Each structure stands twice: as structure tokens, then as C-alpha cells.
Amino acid sequence: MHQDVQEILFSLEEIQHRTRKLGEQISRDYAGKTLILVGLLKGSVPFMAELMRYLTVDVRIDFMNVSSYTGAQSGQVVIKKDMEQDIAGKDVLIVEDIIDTGNTLYNIKKMLEERKCASCKIVTLLDKVESRTIDIQADYVGFDIPNAFVVGFGLDFDEKYRQLPYIGILKKECYE
């Protein structure tokens, strides 16, 4: 365990097991369809890569680089890189590492729906319902988590800790 991590919430094995279950459910729900996965950079990359391993439907991938955090504080949503594919008439699944306030996903989902996709759903590895400030729900959730600052498996604090092969709670003294 990394010295800055207070405790491990989910091991790599737990993440893989839960992601497999999500992949099976999503494959059933989109059977016979082509699904466009839209990963929100950077944190979603490990989760999206793991999820794709378990999908049995045709998949296309794209990415958006969206920022709403500076350090530990949530701020305004800024699109740094937009997706490249035309999604009009297509089924879209937004892939997110964590839903915290809900601000980012609310704005991204609204934007993608305005592009006239056939459907737009959300899969998230982590759901922190306690800190939600906007009413938005994920269609597929890996784990519900407490209102704690988590890192690892793509999640960061100031670009650190993304490489950790588990999800852990960051010690308060590291971000206060």
C-alpha cells in the first residue's frame, strides 16, 4: 500500500470482478447493437480498458478531455478535447471513473444528447452519492463509496496516484 493511502477500499481483484459483472449486464442490454464508449479522460482509462475486455457487443471508442477539478475543489466544466465521432442516431455509453458532485456528467450528458444520439447512458466505477449537488444517476455503477477522497485505478490528486492498482482513501494531510 502507498504511504499516502489511509486504507484500501477495493483491490484489483474486486475491481476486475465487479467490472466483469458490469460488462455482462451492458452486453445483455445492448445485444445486437453497436455501442460507442465515450471515456472521460484521464481517470476513466483503466476502468474503460478493463470494461472493454468483458463486452461482447460491437464497440467503438472515443474520448473527451473534460476538467472540473483543481486540486480537491470542483469547479466549472471545461472541455479540453471533444470526441471525434458523429454520434447522431447511435447508442452512447459515457464511461466515468467517479461521480462526485454530478456537475461534469450532467453537462456532458446534456451536450451529447443535444447531438441527437439514439441513447445516452452512464457507467461509472465509483458513485459518491453523498456529495452529489446535481440530480444525476448512473445507469451502471461499480461501487457506491463514502464521502472520502479516493485515488488509484485512474483516480488522482493533482495527477498523482493514478497508477495504483487499487482504489484507496487518500490521507487528509496529502490534500488539505
Dump the DSSP string for the chain.
Answer: --TTEEEEEE-HHHHHHHHHHHHHHHHHHTTTSEEEEEEEETTTHHHHHHHHTT--SEEEEEEEEEEEEETTEEEEEEEEE---S--TTSEEEEEEEEESSSHHHHHHHHHHHHTT-SEEEEEEEEE-GGG--S----SEEEEE--SS-EEBTTB-BTTBSTT-SSEEEEPGGGT-
Q: Is 100 a catalytic residue?
A: yes
> Rounded to the nearest 5°, which phi and psi values hold at 129?
-60, -35
**Cβ contact 77:54 at 8 Å:** no
Catalytic residue (one of 29, 86, 100, 139): 100
Question: Which residues are identified as catalytic?
Answer: 100
